Amino acid sequence: MSVGRAARAMPTLLRVGMAEAIAYRAEFIVWMLTSTLPLVMLGLWTSVADEAPFASYRAADFVAYYLATLIVRNLCGNWAFWHISEEIRQGTLSMRLLRPIHPFYAYAATHLASVPLRGLVALPFAAILLYSSASDQLITDPALIGIFVLSVAGAWTLTFLTLVTVGSLAFFIEKSMALFDVYIGVFAVMSGYLVPLPLLPHWVGQVADVAPFRFMLSFPVETLLGMHSRTGALEMLAAQWAYVGAVAVVALLVWRSGVRRYEAYGQ
Partner 1 sequence: MIEVRDLHKHFKVQRRAAGLGAALRSVFHRDYEIVRAVDGVSFRIERGERVGFLGPNGAGKTTTLKVLSGLLHPTSGSVEVGGFDPRRRESAFLSSITLVMGQKQQLLWDLPPAETYALNRAVFQVPDAQYRETMAELSELLDLGELATKPTRQLSLGERMKCELAAALLHRPTTLFLDEPTIGLDVSMQVAIRDFIRAYNERYQATVLLTSHYMEDVAALCQRVIVIDHGRLVYDGDLRALVTKMHPRKRVSFTLTAPVDRDQLERLGTVVEHEEGHVALDVDHAELRDAVSHALAELPVADLSVEDPPLESAMRQLIANHRAERGESA
Residues that bind partner 1 (CB under 8 A): 1-2, 5, 8-9, 11-13, 15-16, 19-20, 23-24, 91-92, 94-95, 97-101, 106, 260, 262-266
Min. distance of Cβ 121 from partner 1 in angstroms? Answer: 18
Min. distance of Cβ 31 from partner 1 in angstroms? Answer: 15
**Nearest to partner 1 of 13, 233 (CB atom):** 13
**Nearest to partner 1 of 54, 262 (CB atom):** 262
**Nearest to partner 1 of 9, 186 (CB atom):** 9
Min. distance of Cβ 258 from partner 1 in angstroms? Answer: 14
Min. distance of Cβ 189 from partner 1 in angstroms? Answer: 30
**Nearest to partner 1 of 55, 264 (CB atom):** 264
Min. distance of Cβ 15 from partner 1 in angstroms? Answer: 8
CA–CA distance, 118 with 84 (Å, rounded to integer): 21
Min. distance of Cβ 178 from partner 1 in angstroms? Answer: 15
CA–CA distance, 204 with 201 (Å, rounded to integer): 5
| Helix (H), strand (E), coil (C) string for the chain | CCHHHHHHHHHHHHHHHHHHHHHCHHHHHHHHHHCCHHHHHHHHHHHHCCCCCECCECHHHHHHHHHHHHHHHHHHCCCHHHHHHHHHHHCCHHHHHCCCCCHHHHHHHHHHHCHHHHHHHHHHHHHHHHHHHHCCCCCCCHHHHHHHHHHHHHHHHHHHHHHHHHHHHHHCCCCCHHHHHHHHHHHHHHCCCCCCHHHCCHHHHHHHHHCHHHHHCHHHHHHHCCCCCHHHHHHHHHHHHHHHHHHHHHHHHHHHHHHHHHHHHCC
The backbone torsions φ and ψ at residue 230, rounded to the nearest 5 degrees and listed phi first, read -55, -50
Min. distance of Cβ 57 from partner 1 in angstroms? Answer: 44
**Nearest to partner 1 of 11, 146 (CB atom):** 11
**Nearest to partner 1 of 220, 258 (CB atom):** 258
**Nearest to partner 1 of 91, 245 (CB atom):** 91
CA–CA distance, 245 with 2 (Å, rounded to integer): 19
